[in-house]
């Protein structure tokens, strides 16, 4: 099995090729770019050959299919960057988002990993998303189904489970958990994570659990909400804090 570092370096190199903003090597021609992608595809083929858990896979077909999907993956990644640009007042440019935003990095790595996951590749998808997790604090399982225009703001502590389904134009803040009500092993392969429909906003610290839990489109889930039941479209759910204020000024 190739090292985790080499697998992560392969994925990072794809992002360098797709986004010149991240690339310090300075590719200067279409021919050079084409040759770099050919080398990248050959490296994926080699990685697959060395992944013994995939001994029955058609590795050449997997590598070819994956790279034919790169233009569509690139298009979707750009929608994610645009979602951040449209939603974050602190974002000054798409270039800044591509170069510096951890949420964008985590989404891109997830998109690559998810494509490999869909092609039946073992181990590599999870290695990639765990690499992104270690670098950004954002934990997205490669099996999750996430549509375009995903906006992750800050993102530290964000968890998206394996069977989670997320629609278009969804905004997620730091500390959000989209998890399972139960982690029994017999539930492997069963829908156990929530469904988040289009144009939903989920604020920091919210926890949404369960495969039968659907958050309807255009809903808002406030910070620190604990949710285990479905929410109708156009609903706002918020947590009422019970805070106490004590005057601690010294007595003169």
What tens digit of pLDDT does each residue of 222-252 get?
999 999 999 999 999 998 888 888 888 887 7
252 contacts: CB under 8 Å, gap ≥ 6? none
Question: Comparing C-alpha atoms, which of 79, 212, 225, 70 is closest to residue 146?
Answer: 79
Mean pLDDT across the stretch 149-174? 97
pLDDT of 20 above 90:
no
Helix (H) or strand (E) segment spanning residue 47: helix 30-50
Distance CA 241, CA 140 (A): 29
Q: What is the pLDDT of residue 187?
A: 63
Q: What are the tokens at 140? A: 């997205």
pTM for this predicted structure: 0.92
- Say how far residue 235 (Cα) sits from the centre of its chain: 25
Percent of all residues in the chain with a pLDDT value above 70, rounded to a whole number: 95
Residues 24-39 have pLDDT tens digits of 667 788 898 899 999 9
Distance CA 30, CA 171 (A): 36
Q: What is the pLDDT of residue 172?
A: 98
Q: What are the tokens at 234? A: 């156009």
């Amino acid at each position: 099995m190739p090292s985790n570092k080499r697998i992560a370096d392969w994925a990072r190199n794809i992002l360098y090729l797709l986004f010149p903003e991240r690339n310090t090597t300075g590719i200067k021609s279409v021919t050079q770019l084409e040759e770099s992608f050919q080398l990248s595809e050959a490296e994926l083929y080699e990685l697959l050959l060395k992944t013994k858990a995939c001994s029955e896979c058609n590795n050449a077909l997997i590598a070819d299919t994956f790279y034919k999907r790169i233009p569509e993956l690139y298009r979707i990644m750009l929608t994610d960057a645009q979602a951040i640009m449209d939603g974050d007042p602190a974002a000054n440019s798409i270039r800044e988002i591509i170069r510096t935003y951890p949420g964008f990095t985590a989404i891109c790595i997830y998109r690559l990993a998810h494509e490999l996951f869909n092609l039946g590749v073992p181990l590599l998808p999870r290695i990639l998303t765990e690499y992104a997790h270690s670098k950004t604090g954002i934990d997205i399982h490669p099996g999750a189904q996430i549509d375009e225009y995903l906006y992750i703001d800050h993102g530290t502590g964000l968890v998206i489970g394996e069977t989670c389904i997320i629609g278009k134009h969804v905004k997620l803040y730091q500390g959000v958990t989209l998890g399972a009500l139960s982690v029994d092993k017999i539930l492997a392969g069963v829908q156990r994570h929530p469904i988040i429909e289009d144009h939903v906003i989920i604020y920091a610290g919210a926890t949404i659990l369960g495969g039968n839990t659907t958050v309807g489109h255009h809903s808002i889930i406030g910070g620190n909400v604990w949710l285990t039941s479905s929410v109708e479209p156009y609903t706002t759910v918020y947590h009422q804090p019970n805070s106490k204020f004590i005057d601690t000024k010294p007595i003169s």
